[in-house]
């Protein structure tokens, strides 16, 4: 029986306990301990159970009066998050979730990256979870089939990309085989436990092969080639990722203006690297510069670990209050099969699992230009996600929903993009690394344009110097990234497929950064010479995550 919830924080804490029970994948992702041996029910009944929990918790919260400012904020954040979750469920979207980056097909595989592997007891837990993969994926197939019968189905592009991933993970010698092989040398991982692990690997691989066959033979014939979700569904997804109702056409226009501003600065910096050079020509100069190159994946991993640790040491006590628990940040190369790029995973509730930066690198490359990537280390590490998320986990005045389970992309990705800008302000980016940061920044502005433009089928405006008057297509979007940012073809294809399968998420970076910057300037204007940047940052980080509407209320109005 769940414990009785009392007060706003009590309702939030009880919800975390119940949700972790119903969704052990989320529990593993967010560092909520005690659920790693299980997997969620992904059948239609499982989705209805999680929606029922959200409805019940919302009713409990509506009947609970906050007793102080902290509870008022917590109630607003909790209610906003669960209301959009219920709306998504009623639209049939979680049960139909299938895309190439963030759906159950990937979540199940990625969960094993986050599980401890030091002892025989750890491996016994992994063996139990592996054994449950077939049942969970069977429920997932049932939900996808039922959703498709109702006309709620992902586009063919997403089915094709996910099918390729499933084939990668089901192959001999792939992730699951290597996972179990890494138990060699652990004392007591032998006999019955070794047999359980080997059986679990076979079961997981066969389950992913079965999912691949289902996607190819059953779901693909029910899909269409229309990638755009349309304005109504896009607005719902945007609420999920932004935490606010957004004027989408205004955001599209702002994205173009921001793109133009960054493009001009990118050209200016390119000219400092080589007089008269375009950004693409400056990139060639930097790619050939041995100061900005590493020669292997191991060297890349060592570079990002060293850069992360230096930032932690330099920023602690000077620009931020960083507790001891956050002074460890693990940097790893991600297993193959997922999309390209970097991502961060949370520390455990008790910090027994540290925050981790993962980087998925192309399998066929061994040399890498690091000038493009330094700002991403700061984005994923410190002062970005690791500082932001870790500070929330370490703040005892927040409830467990705020500390562990609540991540809103507009708030979190917006902060991490703002953190890249901070490192420029703090003097950490020479012109080479600055060109890389500006390219990432123009890339995020392009996301606002392309993501909204594709899903709403908007017209490319006059003055854009790019197919003016035409409406966005995936092919035009790929061309835009390749020709107007420093993005290679493989990454451009990957990115556009991501936007089409995850509507509304990509613009959250720049739209969130926009609010962080405007809040800073508003508070700075209010306090004048009494404004303290470090105090502003720490107050913001210790307030925990919030949707963009609530965030401004927390930091500016109060």
Confirm if 354 and 297 have CB atoms less than 8 A apart: no
Residue 525 domain-assigned?
A: no
What distance in Å separates the CA atoms of residue 383 and residue 453, rounded to the nearest whole number?
31
Q: Mark which of 488, 508, 528 sits at the end of a domain.
A: 508
pLDDT number for residue 1: 31
Residue 547 domain-assigned?
A: no
**For residues 187-208, average pLDDT:** 96
Instruction: Report which of 542, 558, 546 is spatially closest to residue 396, judged by C-alpha positions.
Output: 542
271 lies in the same domain as 404:
yes
| Residue 336 or 115, more confident | 115
pTM across the whole model: 0.93
From residue 307, how far is each of 34, 127, 428, 440 by CA, in Å? 33, 35, 11, 18
190 lies in the same domain as 217:
yes
pLDDT number for residue 336: 75
Residue 542 domain-assigned?
A: no
329-333 and 368-369 beta bridge pairing: unpaired
pLDDT number for residue 557: 61
pLDDT band for 558, please (50, 70, 90 cuts): low
135 lies in the same domain as 272:
no
| Number of domains making up the chain | 2
Q: Is 467 left (phi over 0), alpha (psi -120 to 50) or beta?
A: left
**For residues 139-158, average pLDDT:** 97
211 lies in the same domain as 263:
no
pLDDT number for residue 337: 67
pLDDT number for residue 365: 84
Confirm if 459 and 470 have CB atoms less than 8 A apart: yes
Which structural domain range is residue 166 located in?
A: 7-225
Q: What is the DSSP letter of 554?
A: I
Q: Tell me the per-residue pLDDT of 236-267, one tens digit each, with 9 for 90 and over.
A: 999 999 999 999 999 999 999 999 999 999 99
pLDDT number for residue 60: 97
157 lies in the same domain as 271:
no
List Cβ neighbours of 241 (8 Å cut-off, separation of 6 or more).
408, 409, 410, 504, 505, 507, 508
48 lies in the same domain as 78:
yes
480 lies in the same domain as 411:
yes
100 lies in the same domain as 28:
yes
Using CB atoms within 10 Å of the CB of residue 469, give its burial: 0 to 12 exposed, 13 to 18 middle, 19+ buried.
Answer: exposed
pLDDT above 90 (res 2): no
293-294 and 341-345 beta bridge pairing: unpaired
pLDDT above 60 (res 3): no
Q: What is the DSSP letter of 335?
A: P
Residue 537 domain-assigned?
A: no
Using CB atoms within 10 Å of the CB of residue 138, give its burial: 0 to 12 exposed, 13 to 18 middle, 19+ buried.
Answer: middle
Using CB atoms within 10 Å of the CB of residue 268, give its burial: 0 to 12 exposed, 13 to 18 middle, 19+ buried.
Answer: exposed
Instruction: Determine which of 132-141, 287-296, 357-366, 514-523 has the lowest per-residue pLDDT on average.
Output: 357-366
pLDDT above 80 (res 498): yes
**Matching residue, tokens 């033979």:** 217
pLDDT above 70 (res 488): yes
Rg (CA), the chain: 23
Say whether 474 sits in a helix, a strand or coil: helix
Q: Tell me the per-residue pLDDT of 11-64, one tens digit each, with 9 for 90 and over.
A: 999 999 999 999 999 999 999 999 999 999 999 999 999 999 999 999 999 999
What distance in Å separates the CA atoms of residue 72 and residue 554, rounded to the nearest whole number?
10
Q: Percent of the chain having pLDDT more than 70?
A: 98
Confirm if 131 and 125 have CB atoms less than 8 A apart: no
**For residues 431-454, average pLDDT:** 97
**Matching residue, tokens 């936007």:** 499
What distance in Å separates the CA atoms of residue 125 and residue 330, rounded to the nearest whole number?
22
Instruction: Determine which of 101-110, 336-345, 471-480, 540-549 has the lowest per-residue pLDDT on average.
Output: 336-345
Cα 98 off chain centre by: 16
Q: Mark which of 473, 492, 508 sits at the end of a domain.
A: 508
34-59: buried (b, 16+ CB within 10 Å) or exposed (e) per residue?
A: ebbebbbbbbbebbebbbebbeebbe
355-360 and 329-333 beta bridge pairing: parallel
Whether residue 383 is preceded by a cis peptide bond, meaning omega within 30 degrees of 0, is yes
Residue 557 domain-assigned?
A: no
173 lies in the same domain as 298:
no
Q: What is the DSSP letter of 371?
A: G
pLDDT number for residue 168: 95
Residue 504 domain-assigned?
A: yes
List the structure tokens of 309.
Answer: 């640790």
87 lies in the same domain as 173:
yes
Report phi then psi at 343, rounded to 5.
-155, 165
What distance in Å separates the CA atoms of residue 435 and residue 431, rounded to the nearest whole number?
6
pLDDT band for 491, please (50, 70, 90 cuts): confident
173 lies in the same domain as 304:
no
Average pLDDT, the chain: 95
List the structure tokens of 461.
Answer: 């405006």
Q: Mark which of 200, 225, 250 sits at the end of a domain.
A: 225
pLDDT above 90 (res 151): yes
pLDDT number for residue 555: 78
Instruction: Report which of 307, 325, 319 is spatially closest to residue 379, judged by C-alpha positions.
Output: 307
Residue 215 domain-assigned?
A: yes
Q: What is the DSSP letter of 486?
A: S
Residue 518 domain-assigned?
A: no
pLDDT number for residue 338: 63
217 lies in the same domain as 257:
no
Report phi then psi at 119, rounded to 5.
-130, 165
Strand order in the sheet with 341-345: 329-333, 355-360, 341-345
Q: What is the DSSP letter of 5?
A: P
Query: What share of residues in the chain are helix, strand, coil (percent, to 5)?
Result: 65, 5, 30
Q: Tell me the per-residue pLDDT of 536-555, one tens digit each, with 9 for 90 and over.
A: 999 999 999 999 989 888 77
């Amino acid at each position: 029986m769940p414990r009785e919830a009392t007060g706003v924080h009590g309702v939030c804490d009880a919800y975390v306990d119940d949700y972790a029970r119903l969704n052990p994948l989320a529990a593993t992702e967010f560092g909520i301990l005690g659920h790693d041996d299980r997997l969620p029910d992904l059948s239609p009944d499982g989705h209805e159970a999680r929606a029922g929990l959200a409805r019940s918790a919302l009713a409990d919260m509506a009947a609970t009066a906050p007793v102080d400012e902290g509870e008022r904020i917590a109630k607003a954040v909790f209610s906003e998050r669960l209301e959009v979750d219920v709306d998504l469920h009623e639209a049939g979207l979680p049960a139909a979730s299938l895309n190439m980056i963030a759906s159950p097909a990937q979540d199940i595989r990625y969960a094993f990256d986050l599980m401890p592997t030091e002892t025989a007891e750890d491996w016994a837990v992994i063996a139990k979870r592996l054994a449950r993969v077939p049942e969970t994926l069977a429920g997932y197939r049932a939900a996808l089939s039922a959703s498709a019968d109702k006309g709620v189905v992902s586009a063919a592009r997403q089915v094709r990309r996910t099918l390729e991933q499933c084939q990668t993970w089901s192959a001999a010698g792939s992730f699951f085989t290597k996972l179990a092989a890494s138990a060699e040398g652990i004392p007591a991982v032998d006999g019955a436990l070794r047999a359980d692990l080997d059986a679990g690997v076979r079961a997981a691989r066969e389950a992913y092969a079965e999912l691949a066959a289902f996607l190819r033979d059953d779901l693909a014939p029910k899909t269409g080639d229309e990638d755009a979700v349309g304005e109504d569904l896009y607005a719902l997804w945007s609420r999920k990722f932004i935490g606010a109702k957004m004027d989408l056409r205004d955001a599209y226009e702002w994205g173009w203006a921001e793109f133009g501003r960054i493009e001009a600065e990118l050209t200016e910096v390119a000219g400092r690297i080589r007089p008269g050079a375009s950004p693409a020509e400056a990139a060639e100069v930097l790619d050939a510069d041995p100061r900005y190159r590493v020669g292997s994946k191991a060297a890349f991993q060592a570079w990002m670990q060293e850069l992360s640790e230096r930032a932690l040491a330099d920023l602690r006590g000077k620009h931020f209050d960083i507790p001891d628990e956050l002074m460890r940040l693990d940097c790893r190369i991600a297993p193959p099969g997922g999309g390209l790029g970097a991502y961060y995973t949370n520390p455990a509730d008790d910090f027994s699992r540290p925050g981790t930066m993962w980087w998925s690198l192309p399998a066929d490359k061994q040399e890498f230009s690091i000038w493009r990537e330094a700002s991403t280390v700061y984005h994923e590490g410190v002062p970005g996600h690791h500082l932001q998320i870790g500070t929330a986990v370490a703040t005892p005045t927040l409830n467990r929903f705020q500390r562990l389970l609540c991540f809103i992309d507009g708030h979190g990705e917006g902060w991490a993009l703002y953190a890249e800008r901070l490192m420029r302000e703090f003097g950490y980016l020479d012109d080479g690394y600055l060109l890389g940061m500006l390219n990432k920044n123009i890339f995020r502005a392009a996301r606002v344009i392309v993501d909204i433009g594709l899903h709403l089928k908007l017209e490319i405006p006059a003055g854009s110097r790019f197919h003016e008057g035409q409406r966005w297509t995936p092919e035009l979007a790929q061309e835009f990234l390749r020709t107007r940012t420093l993005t290679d073809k493989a990454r451009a294809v990957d990115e556009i497929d991501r936007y089409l399968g995850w509507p509304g998420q990509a613009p959250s970076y720049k739209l969130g950064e926009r609010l962080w910057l405007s809040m800073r300037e508003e508070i700075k204007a209010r306090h004048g010479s009494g404004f303290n940047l470090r105090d502003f940052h720490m107050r913001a980080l210790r307030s925990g995550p919030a949707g963009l509407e609530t965030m401004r209320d927390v930091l500016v109005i109060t």
